[in-house]
Amino acid sequence: MPLKLYLLVGLAYSCFFCTDILIRKYSVNANSFSFILKRSAYTVLLSFALLVGSLTILTPPSVLVALQIIGISIICGMGLWLFILANRHISFPNVVVINLFGLLVQQLAARFILGEHFSPYFYPSLAICVLGLLVQASVPKLQKGLILALLSITCWSFGYSLLSIPLKYTAVTWSAFIMESTILFSAWLIYKLTRKDADQKVEKSPIKPLNFIIIAVLTTMGSLLIKQSYKEFQVGEISLLYLFLFPFSLLVSKWYFKEEISKREWVGSIIIFIGIILFVIR
């Protein structure tokens, strides 16, 4: 694989991982859509500034490409919302493990939608991963969070796989701006419609604007880097690189949040990891 791909994916993963930690830290006691609304307000401003600064604002995508990105953005926005909900029910290290399942989702999309090479080891790997998920699901307190985390990573992985199609016809800065604007508008609309019935969680302490700015900077940087990689390289190649960063992210998340993980959770995580390793070493 080209060195450029390693750099793009490695830097993007680092940005998204730090963003995930901050989202976990600050969103737990906040209304989901209110948090996404504030977060997205900053990302839209930043992505628009980059759009203008790079002069790519002068070369907008076609209406069809823009509509494709909007539809995909709704899927990714659902992934963000489900990620916030999942973190309220299971530990962050468990969410990191379940995110590996996204690799298999992207491989499915790469094969059946994008027509890329499909490994014969996919199905045995999938079976082993499902076994690991079932082991984790046997812990009653994890079941709701497990489902939410699976839905979240499915939305993100499937959405970004599809995004590789319109990215061939537009600049990554336009893609980032359209995606963040769509997520912002969707969050605003749903927040307004469900405000009376929404979770009335009271924040223990208000989230400082600086924290949202940091989240916005990391999100935008990660978004541009990963979109550039999807624009230039195959989905199947990109998803495999995430595996090599997984052990580091698991250890850091375990150390940072100091959350206890039961033996059964560890067993399930190890089984999932073995399934992914089988898929990679083919």
pLDDT at residue 244, as a whole number: 59
In tens, the pLDDT along 232-247 reads 887 766 766 666 566 6
Task: Kindly indicate the confidence band of residue 106, based on its pLDDT and cuts at 50, 70 and 90.
Answer: confident
Task: Kindly indicate the confidence band of residue 114, based on its pLDDT and cuts at 50, 70 and 90.
Answer: confident
In tens, the pLDDT along 195-234 reads 765 545 545 567 889 999 999 999 999 999 989 988 888 7
Beta-carbon-side half-sphere exposure of residue 61 (alpha carbons within 13 Å): 23
Percent of the chain with pLDDT over 90: 37
Q: What angle do CA 248, 76, 64 make, to 5 degrees?
A: 135
Range of the domain at 62: 3-280
* Section 188-197 average pLDDT: 78
Question: How many domains are contained in the chain?
Answer: 1
pLDDT at residue 231, as a whole number: 87
* Section 137-146 average pLDDT: 76
Say what the alpha-carbon torsion angle 76, 40, 19, 105 is, to the nearest 10 degrees.
0
pLDDT at residue 134, as a whole number: 77
pTM over 0.95: no
* Section 102-109 average pLDDT: 76
127 vs 222, more confident: 222
CB 229 within 8 A of CB 5: yes
Q: Cα–Cα distance between 279 and 272 in angstroms, integer?
A: 11
Q: Which residues contact 91 (CB under 8 A, 6 or more apart)?
A: 257, 259, 260, 261, 265
Token pair for residue 98? 């379940």
Is 52's pLDDT higher than 90? Answer: yes
